[in-house]
Amino acid sequence: MTKKMKGICITVVACLVLGVLGGTGLAAERPQRVIAASGSGLVELYEDEVGVTSALFRGAVGLEYEKVTNPNSSFYVVPALTFGGQIPGVKGTVGLKKYIKPTAPEGFWWGVHGSLGLAVDEGIALTIPGGGLNVGYKYFLPKNFIAEWSFGLAYISVTGEDIEISGPGPSVSFKLGYAF
């Protein structure tokens, strides 16, 4: 291998390593991941078999992991424990956030998400798929701690042996976490 070829190979490898490890200068300065404790709630209005309108509340407490995919957007996953409707459960949520300015993971954003939940109690099993649209704001506190709020419109469907409820409802969430 010639000196020139070795120099080209070393330059290409160095560029790849720097690109993978550092990205752009802007990306290297801004945290690319967020871990946050998440609390959320959804109220769904439904009509029972006699025509009486009732409200079903489903809440969740989870741990969100968010990964910046480019300066304007991120992908997130949230495993969570759910409560409400007298039956506790578990759910998983995945979603995308699109930041208004190229400051991900900080600032105003809008996003979409989908979820799948399961609640089981004394032989009653409920499947709870859902999804929705949210808007929110993530604020950086000192030392890369974050606070985030969001609200939106979600749709859930609760299906079990003797129950079937589905429809839209307002949702709200609040998160505290750390960006790195």
Domain boundaries, the chain: 1-30, 31-179
Q: What amino acid is encoded at 26 in this protein?
A: L
Examine the pLDDT at 153 and tell me if it is beyond 70.
yes
Angle (nearest 5°) at CA 72 between 12 and 134: 145
Residues 89-119 have pLDDT tens digits of: 999 999 999 999 999 999 999 999 999 999 9
Please check the confidence at residue 20 and state whether its pLDDT lies above 50: no
Strand pairing class (53-70; 89-99)? unpaired
The CATH architecture to which 31-179 belongs is: Beta Barrel (2.40)
Mean of the per-residue pLDDT values of the chain? 85
- The model's pTM is 0.79
Residue 16 has pLDDT above 60, yes or no: no
pLDDT above 70 as % of the chain: 83
Chain centroid offset of residue 126 CA: 22
